[in-house]
Structure 1
Amino acid sequence: MSEWLSREEALERLKVRPQTLYAYVSRGRIGMQPDRADPRRSQYRADDIAAMATRRARGRSPSAIAESAIAWGEPSIVTSISTVLHGHLVYRGQDAVALSASATLEETAAVLWALPEPVAFRAPTPDAAHQPGRASAFAQLAVLAGQGRPSLGRSATSLHADAAHAVGVLASALGASAGPDPVHWRLARDWSVDAAGADAIRRALVLLADHELNASTFAARVTASTGAPMAACLLAGLATLSGPRHGGAGEAVMQLAEDAGRHGAEAATRRWLSHDRPLPSFGHPLYPDGDPRAAALLSVIDIDDLSQSLRDAALAATGARPNIDFALAVLTRGLGLPRDAPFRLFALARSVGWAAHTIEQVTSGSVIRPRGRYEGLLPR
């Protein structure tokens, strides 16, 4: 749980006047809550205070600001699409967890793309030459990217049409059958899942649709800033997502669960930590009190005994709570989905967010081109 500081402690750590502290709170940079012992007084989130103190200590030199922004630092790109604010994921002003209670991915796309009606992701008939999964997703998006029109100078309506087609192609490549139904039903049919399981898949897709400026979204925006075709921007996002520190974390979670099945949860946890490896699927820098996406998904699925013991062992060993990757692994195990289902769900859902950011970046007209701070040799 987050630590909370008194007003005096916050002022001492920041070395600022009360007016400055209140300004940080009003801008949403520092979380505040009433003191339970004395509701007339306020407490301030220690994590936010520490981050603010670190930024102040670095000074305001351009190089220090730019360096800190690259890794979980200050927001560096203006966006109206999504943000994480004091433990809540927000899609264009709507709480993503609340939205996931009933919305489909198609309806969530309408929110993220700022459209009045749900988006239709019409998938072509699956290519019998390709087995659904990661390889098929890369292959079919690559073909679409090679044939695509540059995005620069085109209307938002035209880009939305390209995005809907690209997401539909990706859905087919990842296992969604053809047809007019929402993609969660089409996946559920392919995976022989009942109505309750289909609803859990729907919720997972909505919760994964966007997550502000994560690595894959940044890659998609960089690609979009050059005017590349929509499918090429989604392909850049997919390539970045495939890394083990991002969407590829699902494979590590499944390995951890298998280790726990063979050796017991506590022993598996010790083995991972003894090799100086962080436990996959536990903890998240943006959610010190726990990932709300994981809590929302776990609330509607049965957690098997092995997963429960693994969650307890991880919490006891590290104090970290499960994140969305853990919830996807539990969903996969509980419904008997393909082993790579976490990656498939992540890729399909997040493609909606990549498309939203691509359109926002293209219409902004700016190019993303940071400078490197050279520390190598110089010519004599």
Structure 2
Amino acid sequence: MKKILFILLMCLPIISMAKDKKDNSNPKYLTGAVTTIDGRVAFTKEINAPGLSKTDIFNQMLDWAKGRFKPDGKLYSHVSYSNEEEGVIAASAEEYIIFSSSALSLDRTRIYYQLLINTKDGKCDLMMTRIRYWYDEARDGGEKYSAEEWITDDMALNKKKTKLAPICGKFRRETIDLKDELFQSAASALGQKFLDTTPEAAPQSVPMQKLQPAIKINASAELKEVGLEQLPSNLNEIAAQGRITLTASNGEEIEIKADNWSGFGKMFNKNVSYLLIDQSRIAATALMEQSDTYKISFYTDDNSKASVVIECKKAMSQKMTAEELKSLNQNADTSKQYTMYIGEVTKTLMR
């Protein structure tokens, strides 16, 4: 009874309470943001990596989980189960969420949760569940409660469902932010080969034979398959002075910008190409999301036929933060949202 009364009092609007400076009306945190499975709060995420095998994904996820979930002082996080044959990894987490901190006060809660990782060929499924809190533990033992009784729509939103409620709302908001950070970190782990700043792994131009961007193309010549090392090293210049198109497996073709092309690199010992697409480019984003294979075509000057064509099989995609863009030295507007598409190079052609 005491616990129920405490929860009700904590979640009622309190006029005298200091206003939370964070955006409590952000739709990201409102109706539907907290999902349940069989009555239990559970957040899920599917990461698609069509070019990677179950073994590749399992090993990458296990390395990430071992680095992300490990004991830290009084907090005991750990990988509790892993089975490569099943493709399953389970981690038990115990960490702090900091609501506010100053020289005079520290408002935080201990959060417990379980992360389940199910790996398959070409994709990885994540589930964050069994979420519990231990709040204000230094004061008379604090209060303990579950996500189901604390951060659901009924508890953590106001009656009109237009903003977060005091106290319960901050738990909901910070839990959702933690979930987003966790899933983003896992997705980045699959793409860490290209996020690495080492020369071997970062997106880069492979040394190739020089080809002048203004070269005249023989209209009657045919595209011929060549090795990757035979392609011109100045594809960026060719794209800037000519044009570049993206073609889906169904034949749909759209024009993209020169700065969408990010070069070649290596991932899991395979030759890959990189495209950086502004998420506001709806057509380009839709084409890439719906296609497993695609072609990148480079046209010099006003030629109607492509001088270089790169055929790719989509390996994975990764939303990029401004910091990640800076680390890749990309000439991109960091105020925009981008997605990096990585494709295994299956064929290269040149006139």
Q: Which has the higher strand share?
A: 2
With the shorter chain as reference, the TM-score category is under 0.3
Question: Max radius of gyration: which structure?
Answer: 2
TM-score (norm 2): 0.28
